[in-house]
Amino acid sequence: MPPAPLQRHIHVACAIIEHGGLVLAARRGEAMSMPLVWEFPGGKIEAGETPRQCLRRELMEELGIAISVGAALEPVTHDYPSFTVTLYPFVCTMERGEITLHEHAAIAWLAPEALPSLEWAAADGPILENYLGQRR
Ligand SMILES: Nc1nc2c([nH]c(=O)n2[C@H]2C[C@H](O)[C@@H](COP(=O)(O)OP(=O)(O)OP(=O)(O)O)O2)c(=O)[nH]1
């Protein structure tokens, strides 16, 4: 077998935002790649940016809120058919602003144990497990 061709590898920071005992899930918009699956809001880390800076920028761009970025969870790497993603999850809280959807189709505030009932992006499975596991 010839070696598998190297595919694009992107690095993405994502925010597990806790508020009043609930957690924010965001449904990707129809015009986005991987439409309509649920994710933790965030996006690609740009050159010269730390994952935490990336998250503050992305949450302001995507949802119009300022967040405080707390503890990092274990990064997760997943191979999609056409690219590889490493996700850098952080537990966050909202600082100010009201949520306005600039890119997402919907948001939901769920009790942590209800999060797995949504249809998540495939890469997010281990993040959910780690997050729910560390709360037990
Ligand atoms: N923000 C976020 N992205 C995720 C999660 N899980 C997951 O597989 N992803 C993927 C979806 C996207 O391919 C990429 C996030 O980059 P992005 O939000 O800037 O993506 P995008 O729609 O601009 O993507 P693209 O069209 O440029 O490919 O990571 C997640 O929980 N949160």
Mutate which of 33, 38, 76, 102 for ligand 1? The one with the most ligand atoms within 8 Å of its CB, which is 33
Residue bearing the CA closest to ligand 1, atom 29? 12
pLDDT per residue as tens, the chain (136 positions): 666 668 999 999 999 999 999 999 999 999 999 999 999 999 999 999 999 999 999 999 999 999 999 999 999 999 999 999 999 999 999 999 999 999 999 999 999 999 999 999 999 999 999 999 998 7
DSSP secondary structure of 3-40: PPPP-EEEEEEEEEEEETTEEEEEEPPTTSSSTT-EE-
Tokens coding 8: 């694009």
Closest CA to 90 of 65, 70, 110: 70
Positive or negative: CA dihedral 47, 127, 117, 113: negative
pTM of the model: 0.94
Is 77 within 8 Å of 86 (Cβ atoms)? yes
ipTM of the complex in this document: 0.94
Closest CA to 58 of 41, 37, 75: 41
Q: Give the position, in ligand 1's atom list, of the atom nearest the Cα of 42.
A: 1
Instruction: For the chain, list the domains and their CATH numbers.
Output: 8-131 (3.90.79.10)
62 in contact with ligand 1, CB cutoff 6 A: no
71 in contact with ligand 1, CB cutoff 6 A: no
Task: Please state, in angstroms and rounded to a whole number, the distance separating the CA atoms of residues 46 and 48.
Answer: 6
Strand partners, 13: 43, 88
How remote is the CA of residue 1 from the centroid of ligand 1, in Å? 31
Tokens coding 17: 């935002």
Residue bearing the CA closest to ligand 1, atom 12? 33
pLDDT in the model for residue 25: 98
pLDDT in the model for residue 136: 74
Tokens coding 107: 């948001």
Closest CA to 94 of 33, 11, 20, 32: 20
